[in-house]
Structure 1
Amino acid sequence: MSSTKGGTHQGFTAEERAALKDHAQELKKAARRGSHAEKAAQAERDVLAKIAEMRDSDRIMAERVHAVVTATAPALAPKLWYGMPAYALDGKVVCFFQSAEKFKSRYATLGFSDQAKLDEGTMWAAGFALTEVTEEVEARIAELVRRAVS
Protein backbone atom coordinates (compact mmCIF):
# COMPACT_ATOMS: atom_id res chain seq x y z
CA MET A 1 0.00 0.00 0.00
CA SER A 2 1.21 3.47 -0.73
CA SER A 3 1.71 6.30 1.73
CA THR A 4 2.89 9.89 1.67
CA LYS A 5 6.13 11.17 3.21
CA GLY A 6 4.22 11.94 6.39
CA GLY A 7 3.07 8.33 6.57
CA THR A 8 -0.63 8.88 5.85
CA HIS A 9 -2.36 6.05 4.04
CA GLN A 10 -3.19 6.68 0.38
CA GLY A 11 -4.82 3.30 -0.41
CA PHE A 12 -3.74 0.59 -2.78
CA THR A 13 -1.70 1.32 -5.89
CA ALA A 14 -3.21 0.52 -9.28
CA GLU A 15 -0.99 -2.59 -9.44
CA GLU A 16 -2.16 -3.75 -5.99
CA ARG A 17 -5.82 -3.21 -6.94
CA ALA A 18 -5.25 -5.21 -10.13
CA ALA A 19 -3.69 -8.07 -8.13
CA LEU A 20 -6.67 -8.10 -5.75
CA LYS A 21 -9.05 -8.17 -8.72
CA ASP A 22 -7.07 -11.06 -10.24
CA HIS A 23 -7.33 -12.98 -6.98
CA ALA A 24 -11.11 -12.49 -6.77
CA GLN A 25 -11.48 -13.76 -10.35
CA GLU A 26 -9.25 -16.76 -9.58
CA LEU A 27 -11.43 -17.71 -6.61
CA LYS A 28 -14.63 -17.43 -8.66
CA LYS A 29 -13.16 -19.45 -11.52
CA ALA A 30 -11.94 -22.20 -9.18
CA ALA A 31 -15.38 -22.47 -7.53
CA ARG A 32 -17.03 -23.11 -10.92
CA ARG A 33 -14.73 -25.94 -12.02
CA GLY A 34 -15.73 -29.62 -11.92
CA SER A 35 -13.72 -32.52 -10.52
CA HIS A 36 -10.40 -32.21 -8.73
CA ALA A 37 -8.55 -33.46 -11.82
CA GLU A 38 -10.36 -30.94 -14.04
CA LYS A 39 -9.55 -28.13 -11.61
CA ALA A 40 -5.87 -29.11 -11.49
CA ALA A 41 -5.58 -29.35 -15.28
CA GLN A 42 -7.30 -26.00 -15.79
CA ALA A 43 -5.18 -24.38 -13.07
CA GLU A 44 -2.00 -25.46 -14.84
CA ARG A 45 -3.35 -24.17 -18.18
CA ASP A 46 -4.13 -20.85 -16.45
CA VAL A 47 -0.56 -20.64 -15.11
CA LEU A 48 0.94 -21.41 -18.52
CA ALA A 49 -1.34 -18.83 -20.16
CA LYS A 50 -0.31 -16.19 -17.61
CA ILE A 51 3.35 -16.98 -18.25
CA ALA A 52 2.79 -16.72 -22.02
CA GLU A 53 1.35 -13.20 -21.53
CA MET A 54 4.54 -11.92 -19.82
CA ARG A 55 7.10 -9.77 -21.58
CA ASP A 56 10.10 -11.67 -22.95
CA SER A 57 12.57 -11.49 -20.05
CA ASP A 58 9.91 -12.27 -17.40
CA ARG A 59 8.35 -14.99 -19.59
CA ILE A 60 11.68 -16.75 -20.13
CA MET A 61 12.45 -16.75 -16.41
CA ALA A 62 8.90 -17.83 -15.47
CA GLU A 63 9.03 -20.73 -17.94
CA ARG A 64 12.30 -21.94 -16.44
CA VAL A 65 11.08 -21.50 -12.86
CA HIS A 66 7.88 -23.41 -13.75
CA ALA A 67 9.91 -26.26 -15.27
CA VAL A 68 12.24 -26.48 -12.27
CA VAL A 69 9.46 -26.33 -9.66
CA THR A 70 7.22 -28.89 -11.35
CA ALA A 71 10.13 -31.29 -11.98
CA THR A 72 11.59 -30.90 -8.48
CA ALA A 73 8.34 -31.10 -6.50
CA PRO A 74 5.56 -32.85 -8.45
CA ALA A 75 3.39 -32.66 -5.31
CA LEU A 76 3.16 -28.88 -5.78
CA ALA A 77 0.11 -27.93 -7.83
CA PRO A 78 0.44 -24.96 -10.20
CA LYS A 79 -2.20 -22.30 -9.69
CA LEU A 80 -2.68 -18.57 -10.13
CA TRP A 81 -2.33 -16.51 -6.98
CA TYR A 82 -3.05 -12.79 -7.22
CA GLY A 83 -2.43 -13.10 -10.94
CA MET A 84 0.98 -14.73 -10.45
CA PRO A 85 2.15 -18.28 -11.18
CA ALA A 86 2.23 -20.10 -7.86
CA TYR A 87 2.72 -23.63 -6.59
CA ALA A 88 0.61 -25.04 -3.77
CA LEU A 89 0.64 -28.05 -1.48
CA ASP A 90 -2.79 -29.14 -0.28
CA GLY A 91 -4.24 -25.89 -1.61
CA LYS A 92 -1.79 -23.63 0.25
CA VAL A 93 0.74 -21.62 -1.76
CA VAL A 94 4.34 -22.59 -1.01
CA CYS A 95 6.13 -20.53 -3.65
CA PHE A 96 5.36 -18.10 -6.46
CA PHE A 97 6.91 -16.18 -9.33
CA GLN A 98 6.30 -12.43 -9.47
CA SER A 99 7.27 -10.81 -12.76
CA ALA A 100 9.16 -7.53 -12.66
CA GLU A 101 6.35 -6.00 -14.70
CA LYS A 102 3.67 -6.98 -12.14
CA PHE A 103 4.54 -4.19 -9.72
CA LYS A 104 6.89 -2.23 -11.99
CA SER A 105 9.95 -3.57 -10.19
CA ARG A 106 13.48 -3.71 -11.54
CA TYR A 107 13.63 -7.50 -11.02
CA ALA A 108 11.39 -10.56 -10.90
CA THR A 109 10.95 -12.38 -7.60
CA LEU A 110 10.82 -16.01 -6.54
CA GLY A 111 8.92 -15.86 -3.28
CA PHE A 112 8.10 -18.39 -0.58
CA SER A 113 5.15 -18.30 1.80
CA ASP A 114 5.17 -19.23 5.46
CA GLN A 115 4.18 -22.75 4.31
CA ALA A 116 7.72 -23.25 2.94
CA LYS A 117 10.03 -25.10 5.29
CA LEU A 118 13.02 -22.84 4.77
CA ASP A 119 13.51 -21.93 8.42
CA GLU A 120 17.10 -21.24 9.45
CA GLY A 121 17.22 -20.20 13.09
CA THR A 122 15.44 -16.93 13.81
CA MET A 123 15.84 -15.28 10.38
CA TRP A 124 15.77 -16.58 6.79
CA ALA A 125 15.10 -15.38 3.27
CA ALA A 126 11.57 -15.74 1.91
CA GLY A 127 12.10 -13.95 -1.41
CA PHE A 128 14.81 -13.92 -4.04
CA ALA A 129 15.42 -11.32 -6.76
CA LEU A 130 15.81 -12.79 -10.24
CA THR A 131 17.37 -11.00 -13.19
CA GLU A 132 18.25 -14.16 -15.13
CA VAL A 133 17.69 -17.88 -14.61
CA THR A 134 21.00 -19.59 -15.36
CA GLU A 135 21.87 -23.25 -14.75
CA GLU A 136 23.33 -22.21 -11.38
CA VAL A 137 20.12 -20.36 -10.47
CA GLU A 138 18.02 -23.36 -11.56
CA ALA A 139 20.05 -25.58 -9.22
CA ARG A 140 19.53 -23.12 -6.34
CA ILE A 141 15.77 -22.93 -7.07
CA ALA A 142 15.56 -26.74 -7.10
CA GLU A 143 17.38 -26.93 -3.76
CA LEU A 144 15.10 -24.29 -2.20
CA VAL A 145 11.95 -25.98 -3.50
CA ARG A 146 13.09 -29.40 -2.20
CA ARG A 147 13.67 -27.85 1.22
CA ALA A 148 10.39 -25.93 1.09
CA VAL A 149 8.33 -29.12 0.72
CA SER A 150 10.46 -31.44 2.88
Structure 2
Amino acid sequence: MADTKSGFSADERAAMKQRAEELRATKGLKGAAKLAKELEACVEAIEALTGVDGDLARAVHRIVGDVAPHLNPKTFYGFPAYAADGKVVLFVQPASKFDTRYPTLNFDEPAHLDDGPMWPVSFAVVEVTDAVEKRIRDLVAAAVA
Protein backbone atom coordinates (compact mmCIF):
# COMPACT_ATOMS: atom_id res chain seq x y z
CA MET A 1 0.00 0.00 0.00
CA ALA A 2 1.30 3.45 -0.90
CA ASP A 3 2.24 5.97 1.77
CA THR A 4 -0.06 8.98 1.43
CA LYS A 5 2.81 11.43 1.96
CA SER A 6 5.28 10.19 -0.64
CA GLY A 7 3.14 7.97 -2.86
CA PHE A 8 5.67 5.13 -2.42
CA SER A 9 5.16 1.92 -0.48
CA ALA A 10 7.52 0.94 2.31
CA ASP A 11 9.06 -1.67 -0.04
CA GLU A 12 9.61 0.94 -2.75
CA ARG A 13 11.20 3.36 -0.28
CA ALA A 14 13.44 0.54 0.98
CA ALA A 15 14.51 -0.25 -2.60
CA MET A 16 15.38 3.40 -3.22
CA LYS A 17 17.44 3.49 -0.03
CA GLN A 18 19.16 0.30 -1.12
CA ARG A 19 20.03 1.87 -4.49
CA ALA A 20 21.45 4.95 -2.76
CA GLU A 21 23.58 2.66 -0.57
CA GLU A 22 24.82 0.80 -3.67
CA LEU A 23 25.99 4.07 -5.15
CA ARG A 24 27.64 5.17 -1.89
CA ALA A 25 29.43 1.81 -1.55
CA THR A 26 31.28 2.30 -4.83
CA LYS A 27 31.76 6.07 -4.64
CA GLY A 28 35.38 6.92 -5.32
CA LEU A 29 36.22 3.42 -6.51
CA LYS A 30 37.43 2.92 -10.04
CA GLY A 31 38.39 0.10 -12.33
CA ALA A 32 39.05 -3.30 -10.80
CA ALA A 33 38.28 -2.14 -7.25
CA LYS A 34 34.81 -0.97 -8.27
CA LEU A 35 34.12 -4.13 -10.28
CA ALA A 36 35.22 -6.31 -7.36
CA LYS A 37 32.97 -4.44 -4.93
CA GLU A 38 30.01 -4.73 -7.33
CA LEU A 39 30.65 -8.46 -7.90
CA GLU A 40 30.77 -9.01 -4.14
CA ALA A 41 27.44 -7.21 -3.69
CA CYS A 42 25.86 -9.24 -6.51
CA VAL A 43 27.03 -12.56 -5.07
CA GLU A 44 25.80 -11.55 -1.60
CA ALA A 45 22.40 -10.62 -3.04
CA ILE A 46 22.18 -13.99 -4.81
CA GLU A 47 23.26 -15.94 -1.72
CA ALA A 48 20.50 -14.25 0.32
CA LEU A 49 17.79 -15.59 -2.01
CA THR A 50 15.93 -18.85 -1.48
CA GLY A 51 13.46 -20.98 -3.43
CA VAL A 52 12.71 -20.02 -7.02
CA ASP A 53 14.24 -16.56 -6.40
CA GLY A 54 17.59 -18.17 -5.61
CA ASP A 55 17.28 -20.79 -8.34
CA LEU A 56 16.67 -18.10 -10.96
CA ALA A 57 19.40 -15.77 -9.70
CA ARG A 58 21.99 -18.58 -9.61
CA ALA A 59 21.00 -19.79 -13.09
CA VAL A 60 21.22 -16.26 -14.53
CA HIS A 61 24.60 -15.67 -12.85
CA ARG A 62 25.98 -18.91 -14.29
CA ILE A 63 24.51 -18.26 -17.75
CA VAL A 64 25.80 -14.67 -17.93
CA GLY A 65 29.25 -15.97 -16.97
CA ASP A 66 29.09 -18.47 -19.84
CA VAL A 67 27.35 -16.44 -22.56
CA ALA A 68 28.25 -12.84 -21.75
CA PRO A 69 31.31 -12.76 -19.48
CA HIS A 70 31.95 -9.16 -20.52
CA LEU A 71 28.87 -8.07 -18.52
CA ASN A 72 29.75 -6.84 -15.06
CA PRO A 73 27.80 -8.27 -12.10
CA LYS A 74 26.44 -5.68 -9.69
CA THR A 75 23.27 -4.91 -7.79
CA PHE A 76 20.48 -2.66 -8.99
CA TYR A 77 18.00 -1.65 -6.27
CA GLY A 78 19.29 -4.70 -4.41
CA PHE A 79 18.60 -7.03 -7.33
CA PRO A 80 21.33 -9.15 -8.94
CA ALA A 81 22.13 -7.32 -12.18
CA TYR A 82 24.57 -7.34 -15.07
CA ALA A 83 25.83 -4.23 -16.85
CA ALA A 84 27.83 -3.15 -19.87
CA ASP A 85 29.59 0.21 -19.83
CA GLY A 86 27.90 1.01 -16.53
CA LYS A 87 24.37 0.48 -17.89
CA VAL A 88 22.24 -2.38 -16.60
CA VAL A 89 21.41 -4.84 -19.37
CA LEU A 90 19.50 -7.39 -17.30
CA PHE A 91 18.48 -8.05 -13.73
CA VAL A 92 16.57 -10.55 -11.61
CA GLN A 93 13.71 -9.16 -9.54
CA PRO A 94 13.01 -11.67 -6.75
CA ALA A 95 9.40 -12.33 -5.80
CA SER A 96 10.39 -11.88 -2.16
CA LYS A 97 11.42 -8.27 -2.74
CA PHE A 98 7.88 -6.99 -3.30
CA ASP A 99 5.92 -10.07 -2.17
CA THR A 100 4.87 -10.99 -5.70
CA ARG A 101 3.76 -14.36 -7.02
CA TYR A 102 6.92 -15.04 -9.06
CA PRO A 103 10.40 -13.63 -9.70
CA THR A 104 11.11 -12.00 -13.04
CA LEU A 105 14.05 -11.81 -15.40
CA ASN A 106 14.12 -8.28 -16.79
CA PHE A 107 16.02 -6.72 -19.66
CA ASP A 108 16.73 -3.00 -19.70
CA GLU A 109 17.06 -0.67 -22.68
CA PRO A 110 20.65 -1.65 -23.64
CA ALA A 111 19.47 -5.23 -24.27
CA HIS A 112 19.07 -5.96 -27.96
CA LEU A 113 15.83 -7.92 -27.85
CA ASP A 114 14.08 -5.68 -30.38
CA ASP A 115 11.62 -7.59 -32.52
CA GLY A 116 9.47 -5.30 -34.64
CA PRO A 117 7.28 -2.63 -33.05
CA MET A 118 6.79 -4.57 -29.76
CA TRP A 119 8.73 -7.18 -27.75
CA PRO A 120 8.84 -8.61 -24.21
CA VAL A 121 11.49 -7.43 -21.76
CA SER A 122 10.26 -9.09 -18.57
CA PHE A 123 9.80 -12.81 -18.04
CA ALA A 124 8.01 -14.46 -15.11
CA VAL A 125 9.66 -17.63 -13.84
CA VAL A 126 7.83 -20.10 -11.61
CA GLU A 127 10.37 -22.93 -11.94
CA VAL A 128 13.91 -23.19 -13.28
CA THR A 129 13.89 -26.19 -15.62
CA ASP A 130 16.31 -27.20 -18.38
CA ALA A 131 13.97 -25.57 -20.91
CA VAL A 132 13.85 -22.35 -18.87
CA GLU A 133 17.65 -22.29 -18.61
CA LYS A 134 17.92 -22.74 -22.39
CA ARG A 135 15.46 -19.86 -22.95
CA ILE A 136 17.44 -17.65 -20.55
CA ARG A 137 20.66 -18.57 -22.35
CA ASP A 138 19.08 -17.62 -25.70
CA LEU A 139 17.72 -14.34 -24.30
CA VAL A 140 21.07 -13.34 -22.78
CA ALA A 141 22.86 -14.16 -26.03
CA ALA A 142 20.36 -12.06 -28.00
CA ALA A 143 20.54 -9.22 -25.48
CA VAL A 144 24.28 -8.80 -25.96
CA ALA A 145 24.44 -9.52 -29.70
**TM-score, normalisation: structure 2:** 0.93
Q: Distance in 2 between matches of 1:82 and 1:143?
A: 25
Q: Which moved more, 1:102-111 or 1:69-78?
A: 69-78
Alignment counterpart, residue 13 of structure 2, candidates 13, 17, 27? 17
3-state secondary structure, aligned to 1:128: strand
CA distance in 2, matches of 1:10, 1:106: 25
Give the fraction of aligned pairs with identical amino acids, expressed as a percent: 46
Match of 1:28 among 24, 41, 47: 24
Counting strand residues as a fraction of each chain, which structure ranks higher? Answer: 1
Mapped partners of 1:24, 1:41: distance in 2 = 18
Name the CA distance, whole Å, in 1 between partners of 2:102 and 2:15: 18
| Stretches of structure 1 lacking an aligned partner (at least 5 in a row) | none
In structure 2, the partner of 1:135 is 130
2:56–2:92 CA contact under 8 A, matched in 1: no
In the alignment, the residues of structure 2 paired with residue 57 and residue 114 of structure 1 have an alpha-carbon distance, to the nearest angstrom, of: 25
1:97 is aligned, of 79, 82, 92, to 92
Alignment of 1:1-150 (within 5 A): 2=2, 11-33=7-29, 35-150=30-145
Task: Confirm or deny: 8 A CA contact 2:2 2:10 kept in the other structure.
Answer: no
Partner Cα distance (1:92, 1:50) in 2? 19
Deviation at 1:2, TM superposition (A): 4.2
Instruction: Report Cα offsets for 1:58-117 as digits up to 9, x if no partner.
Output: 112211111112211011100110110000010000000011001110000000011111
Structure 2: segments with no counterpart, 5+ residues: none
Per the normalisation by structure 1, the TM-score is: 0.90
CA distance in 2, matches of 1:37, 1:99: 28
CA shift, 1:10, in A, is 6.4
